[in-house]
Structure 1
Amino acid sequence: MTPIESIRLSEKAKLQLITMKRRTGIANWNVICRWAFCLSMQEKSIPPDEVIPADSSIEMSWRTFAGQTDQVYLGMLLVRADRDGIPMEKQALAHYFRLHLHRGISYLTGVHGAEDLTGLLGLASASDGVGM
């Protein structure tokens, strides 16, 4: 059982995802969210702790987010949370996941973000993160 059952994004993240859908041609929110999560996870720093509103209409289950590789994404989250000293409690892990997801979504559309699908692939191959 995963500590994250449902993921509701902020309105800001929704608008950023709309931008990424337009730029890349990727049709599904969950696919872009996977890219975003991985992008944030490759950053060495811990995402800043903040309250992220769940005020958009975008909501997906963990299974929709992670797909058939849900154990891989969960493993990534648990290993990173342990390394960063995050308590292995459901609420703490869910919050930590949301911090990574929203940071990654911001990275995708930020100054060093992707302007198209080729740019998105370039972010994935960057060895040092997003120019951070």
Structure 2
Amino acid sequence: MSVDIVRLSQPARDRLVYLKRTTGITQWNVLCRWALLLSLKDASTPLVKDIVTDSNVEMSWKTFAGAHGDLYLALLKQRCVAIGEEPTDDNVQRILTVHLHRGIGYLGADKQMATIEGMVGAVVRV
């Protein structure tokens, strides 16, 4: 297993609190899944910076990924390979953290994504 615990920074937690209130989605893991996929959809490399995961929000990988843990893990490993990094446990954890936080930023920055319909529209192209 490459990831055991998913942790969030305080700013990410604050954005998720806002999103929970505006979307009606009450589970951290559901919002975090959307955020991860939204960031992975963007082919650009997130700005590399140290993210301090200092909030009181943490969840197990099983809670975060649910029944599709293997798929999320494969996507993270594929992103490692795509940027020329070995898909080691440390690299997968770092990619998860960076993309999760960028995705939360995307969700919090776009007023359209304050609704479930807006979130679906941002990820799925019809």
Range class of TM-score, shorter chain: over 0.9
Same amino acid, percent of matched pairs? 38
Q: CA deviation at 1:12?
A: 0.2
Structure 1 Cα separation of the partners of residues 36 and 25 of structure 2: 16
The gaps in structure 1 that reach 5 residues or longer are 128-132
Question: Does structure 1 residue 88 correspond to structure 2 residue 87?
Answer: yes
Q: CA deviation at 1:22?
A: 0.9
Q: CA deviation at 1:69?
A: 0.6
Structure 2 Cα separation of the partners of residues 101 and 52 of structure 1: 11
Structure 2 Cα separation of the partners of residues 23 and 62 of structure 1: 25
The gaps in structure 2 that reach 5 residues or longer are none
Q: CA deviation at 1:4?
A: 1.1
Structure 2 Cα separation of the partners of residues 62 and 36 of structure 1: 15
Q: CA deviation at 1:112?
A: 6.0
Q: 1:92 corresponds to which letter in structure 2?
A: N
Structure 2 Cα separation of the partners of residues 53 and 115 of structure 1: 25
Q: CA deviation at 1:86?
A: 2.1
Instruction: Using structure 2 for the length normalisation, give the TM-score.
Output: 0.94
**Counterparts of 1:3-18 in structure 2 under 5 Å?**
3-18=2-17
Question: Does structure 1 residue 71 correspond to structure 2 residue 70?
Answer: yes
Q: 2:74 corresponds to which letter in structure 1?
A: G
Q: 1:5 corresponds to which letter in structure 2?
A: D
What residue number does 2:48 align with?
49
Alpha carbons 2:19, 2:108 under 8 Å: kept? yes
Q: Residues 53-76 of structure 1, C-alpha deviation per residue, up to 9 Å, x if partnerless? A: 111000001111000110010011
Per residue, is there more helix in 1 or in 2? Answer: 2
Aligned length: 126
What residue number does 2:124 align with?
125
Structure 1 Cα separation of the partners of residues 23 and 52 of structure 2: 26
